[in-house]
């Protein structure tokens, strides 16, 4: 009988200790934002930000500013980084992947290296290749459920070779199945604008192609059409982001103004 009483006492003490420590455990998992430098010390040095809810959940990765003359993508990323924060899981942002191109508002920087043709990058290569290599390394480290590249096309899909007004799907089964759901939801909220279509021909060397084929991660390239006004395109980019977050089960809270 004494043995049973002693055992119950030990268990009670253990339970009390766990309860007493629980506030400290919670404190270690508070929401946080961490800024990282990519290609640090080079002409292409740019920032990534990891928004961590502190709550277990999936991670998602957004890249914008791959081409500096595709403004709606990185303008939308700027706004979203101020407006939303995950309540479970993580959101990772690279809002100006080719910051030199963004600064001069051209497709590429003066070196004419197209960031979206040099993935998986080269850690010993030119500055743009180093950015690509570090983006790939961060993706591989964080293992997101999806990677989304925010671009624009110069026209509507199929007009003069443009892929504007489309969502380019990666090479995974998940990209295709979830991508169709994403497009359907976006089109239902896209007002009087032409419906988005899908494309599945991401070129070799693009973030979409290399992440989906090398890492097996779902990938998407948002392509709004520059025929529309800037405000409309930014709204479409943000609609895609919110829809993708919902489809992949990453809840967010809206930051108060």
Residue 228's φ and ψ, nearest 5 degrees, are: -80, 165
Q: How far apart are CA 84 and CA 80, in angstroms?
A: 6
Angle at 140 between CA 45 and CA 96, to 5 degrees: 30
pLDDT in tens, 186-235: 999 999 999 999 999 999 999 999 999 999 999 999 999 999 999 999 99
DSSP-based helix, strand, coil % in the chain, nearest 5: 40, 20, 35
Rounded CA Rg of the chain: 22
Confidence bin at 26 (pLDDT 50/70/90): very low
Please state, as a whole number, how many other Cβ atoms lie within 10 Å of the Cβ of residue 32.
11
pLDDT given at position 14: 45
Does residue 28 carry a pLDDT above 60? no
pLDDT in tens, 125-154: 999 999 999 999 999 999 999 999 999 999
């Amino acid at each position: 009988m004494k043995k049973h009483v002693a055992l119950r006492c030990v268990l009670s003490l253990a339970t009390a200790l766990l309860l007493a420590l629980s506030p400290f455990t919670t404190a270690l998992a508070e929401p946080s934002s961490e800024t990282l430098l990519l290609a640090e010390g080079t002409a292409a040095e740019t920032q990534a930000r990891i928004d961590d809810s502190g709550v277990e959940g999936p991670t998602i990765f957004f890249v914008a500013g791959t081409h500096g003359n595709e403004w709606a993508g990185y303008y939308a990323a700027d706004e979203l980084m101020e407006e939303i924060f995950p309540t479970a899981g993580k959101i990772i942002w690279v809002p100006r992947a080719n910051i030199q191109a963004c600064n001069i508002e051209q497709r590429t920087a003066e070196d004419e290296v197209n960031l979206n043709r040099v993935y998986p990058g080269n850690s010993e290569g030119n500055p743009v290749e180093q950015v690509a290599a570090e983006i790939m390394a961060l993706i591989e480290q964080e293992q997101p459920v999806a990677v989304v590249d925010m671009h624009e096309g110069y026209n509507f899909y199929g007009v003069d070779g443009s892929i504007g007004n489309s969502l380019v799907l990666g090479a995974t089964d998940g990209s295709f199945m979830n991508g169709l759901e994403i497009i359907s939801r976006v089109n239902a909220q896209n007002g009087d604008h032409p419906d988005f279509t899908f494309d599945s021909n991401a070129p070799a060397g693009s973030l979409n192609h290399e992440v989906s084929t090398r890492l097996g991660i779902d990938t998407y390239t948002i392509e709004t059409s520059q025929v529309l006004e800037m405000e409309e395109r930014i709204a479409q980019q943000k609609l895609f982001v919110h829809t993708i977050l919902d489809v992949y089960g990453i809840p967010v809270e809206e930051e108060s103004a």
